[in-house]
Chains A and B, each alone.
Chain A
Amino acid sequence: MPEPVLSINDLRVEFATDDGVVRAVDGVTYDIYPGETLGIVGESGSGKSVTVLSVLGLIPEPPGRITGGEAIFKGRDLLKLGKEDLRRVRGKEVAMIFQDPMTSLNPVFKVGDQLAEAITIHDSAVKEAAAKGRAADLLALVGVPNAKERADQYPHEFSGGMRQRAMIAMAIANEPALLIADEPTTALDVTIQAQILEVLKKAQDETEAATILITHDLGLIAEMADRVAVMYAGHIVEVADVQTIFHAPRHPYTLGLMNSLPRLDVDDRWLKPIPGQPPSLINIPAGCPFHPRCEFSQGRDECRGEMPPLEEIESEGHLSACYFKHELKGETSKLSSEPAATAGSAS
């Protein structure tokens, strides 16, 4: 296996609130390899975004606090870098695409100027005119028509999809080694989503950047990701390639997630949700945080004892944090149950 671009190890992040300490990220470990797209799924508040934001030093401190772990990027631990060194990494080597393009562009600057700024921040040798020219090229690359004229317009003259294109252009302006897309299509409507995915793929091809795709949209994961990490209550509960996650998950939470999806080709009368509510992060259940909602736990003591470790199952690269993952062997999600001809292929 090649060297990972970014290797997060046992990262722990806490937030101090009036009601107590929120353990938003509680021992997260994952690697991301060159050129791949790692999807991170999980419900709201499971720590998907906080993980990457804290690695880049973008969580507010206080109330946030990184209490442990490391994040190795190009041989350096990002968590130990000084403010100034970390700033140089941001936008240059690791770039982010945010959720809401409507508010992520500064309303008082022309789009082209904002793009040019992204370049000149990290390379003051670049002349302003050259940066502007490159800004227009980038806009053209992400599929903004009349890029030259568009660069001279203000963000409010752009539609939502155009703005997200501009955000992607900004993210790839410095050809980063790692691209982090934090719910890049959540704020867009479905037809635009599809276009933005195309742009994102093109941007990836262009820069050959590894991509972390954070989302709760499983459709997006299926479309884009090579590997998937599933998060629950600040923990990674399962990691596998995308086929395996969808068809033969080995963690009860992932299985529940897949089974809760409606299928177009099956006439379900009811959706099948996971029972219960996600836990409060102030009072995470002891042991496996998922056990109160878990169908497989059935009140077994192991589930309440210690957090089960994230361990490899038979196939390489498939990890699951469940004591009874072997019991899930052979379980297939609803997605691979074959209704007539559309046989889902479990890898």
Chain B
Amino acid sequence: MTDARAGRATEPAQEATVTQETGTGVEERTSSPQATPEEPTAVATRSTTTEKPDLEEVQREGLEVESRSVWRVAWSRFLRHKLAMGSLILLLLIFAAGIFAPLLTPYGFAEQDLFNPTQGPTVEARHFFGTDQLGRDYFTRVLFGIRTTVRVALIVALLSTLIGTVIGAIAGYFGGWVDNALMRLTDLILTLPSLAVLLVAAALLGNGIPERVAIILALIFWTQLARIIRGVFLSLREKEYVEAAKALGATDIRIIFRHMLPNAVGPVVVNATLVIATAILVEAVLSFLGFGVQPPTPALGQLIDDGKGQMLQAWWLVVFPGITIVLICLCINFLGDGLRDALDPTQRRTSA
């Protein structure tokens, strides 16, 4: 009896999943926590309703078998996170709008219409976000701005995740002086006033090309992830399966990247997501200060910079790119929350 209860207590997520999938039949039983005498029936119902291929085997052996991989459990958990799913859909729409910008708008992003400068948003004239002081369609510019900004952000996320993961993993796995050296390097970069460094780097390397801005940002952004991954690896290192892999004669590289990294995917993915949001914000700041992407290529921060002079007469010049930035960042943060809930089994939601 005690065993059954203990087993149950450790699998709240599976229990919850089953409840979702099988509907009311099981729900009645699982909802009453004191119903331990009914546990065997609950288990039986569970195995008959969830898995078809394993059904016979389960019955023959009387084993409790949950036939799903870690990823599929996480995915089904993520699907039920309404805020995160909503955010994901909205985010995909915004990104798609950026990617397919040339198809969505008849204007080019640098196409000027000097007879219609600084027009307010209208549907009839097909300037949904109005035009700027050179008569360029602002909707088009925002779409292309999303394109640039998102490209920068994705490169930053990818690069900084790569650097941060490798450095954090090596530091955490080997420990000792390797750890010390790498972490002091990380500390060093963290203590630098990043905005000042970004400005200097942009000034020195020359600014303008989105990729270059992205690389500069990535070289500063990897530190946070490196620290987190180091922590994860420090705890993973003590896991028995790591010791077992060592005893099997696996090389250090194999242990780090094949055995431990997949177990650290949760924090990596969550942080990569959040880095995208930060990168978008910082890129916007840089562009606003004139050190980011250079005109005529539109970027969201640079659009705000362009519009700030006429903000009081032409509100749309600041509001539309501003709202876009806020929407993207909010969605990414919600998405990150959802991913964390889904991927990190120790921080499961308590309320449904």
* A residues whose Cβ falls under 8 Å from a Cβ of B: 56, 58, 62, 87-92, 95-96, 98-100, 103-109, 117-118, 121-122, 145-146, 149, 153-154, 156-157, 159, 162, 167, 170
Contacts and interface: CB of A to CB of B under 8 A. Distances in A.
Interface stretch (B29-37, B113-121, B153-161, B247-255): B247-255
Nearest to B175: A60
Interface in B257-299: 258-259, 262-263
Interface stretch (B66-74, B96-104, B208-216, B218-226): B66-74
A88 B249 contact: yes
A145 B57 contact: yes
A26 B280 CA distance: 60
A146 B240 CA distance: 27
B249 A121 contact: yes
B197 interface: no
B67 A98 contact: no
Given A121-B250, A157-B67, 9 more contacts: A56-B247, A92-B249, A95-B247, A117-B258, A121-B249, A121-B254, A122-B249, A157-B66, A167-B244
A118 B247 CA distance: 10
Given A98-B240, A103-B240, A157-B67, A108 B262 contact: yes
A98 B251 contact: no
Contacts of B57: 145-146, 149
B181 interface: no
B251 A87 contact: yes
B241 A145 contact: no
B259 A106 contact: yes
B70 A108 contact: yes
B70 A104 contact: no
Contact of A103 (B239, B246, B250, B251): B239
Contacts of B61: 145
Contact of A90 (B66, B69, B176, B246): B246
A107 B244 contact: no
Chain B CB within 10 A, most for which of A88, A108, A117: A108
B245 interface: yes
Nearest to B261: A108
B247 A90 contact: yes
Interface of B: 57, 61, 63-70, 176, 239-241, 243-251, 254, 258-259, 262-263
A107 B243 contact: no
A273 B250 CA distance: 43
B318 to A, nearest CB: 47
24 contacts: A58-B247, A87-B250, A87-B251, A88-B249, A89-B249, A92-B249, A95-B247, A98-B240, A98-B244, A105-B241, A106-B245, A107-B70, A107-B241, A108-B69, A109-B262, A117-B248, A117-B258, A121-B248, A121-B251, A146-B57, A153-B67, A156-B70, A159-B63, A170-B244
A53 B176 CA distance: 20
A62 B179 CA distance: 13
Contacts of B259: 106
Contact of A107 (B176, B245, B263): B263
B210 to A, nearest CB: 36
Given A107-B70, A153-B67, A100 B248 contact: no
Nearest to B244: A104
B248 A62 contact: no
B248 A118 contact: yes
Nearest to A100: B240
A142 to B, nearest CB: 15
Contacts of B70: 107-108, 154, 156
Contacts of B258: 117
Nearest to B14: A156
A105 B241 CA distance: 5
A98 B239 contact: no
A120 B345 CA distance: 31
A100 B238 CA distance: 13
A98 B66 contact: no
Given A108-B262, A153-B67, A159-B63, A91 B241 contact: no
Residue among A118, A145, A156 with the highest chain B CB neighbour number at 10 A? A156
Nearest to B70: A108
A72 B239 CA distance: 29
B14 to A, nearest CB: 9
Nearest to B69: A154
Contacts of A117: 248, 250, 258
A54 B70 CA distance: 34
Contacts of A106: 241, 245, 259, 262-263
B252 to A, nearest CB: 9
Nearest to B72: A154
A242 B246 CA distance: 32
Contacts of B263: 106-108
A98 B242 CA distance: 12
A96 B65 contact: no
A105 B109 CA distance: 55
A315 to B, nearest CB: 36
Contacts of B68: 154
A92 B251 CA distance: 13
Given A104-B241, A106-B241, A157 B65 contact: yes
B190 to A, nearest CB: 27
Contacts of A145: 57, 61
Contacts of A109: 262
A62 B176 contact: yes
Contact of B248 (A91, A149, A153, A156): A91
Nearest to A122: B249
A149 B247 CA distance: 26
Contacts of B241: 103-107
B247 A96 contact: yes
Q: Which of B239, B240, B259 has the most CB of A within 10 A?
A: B240
A65 to B, nearest CB: 13
B240 A156 contact: no
Nearest to A89: B249
Contacts of B251: 87, 121
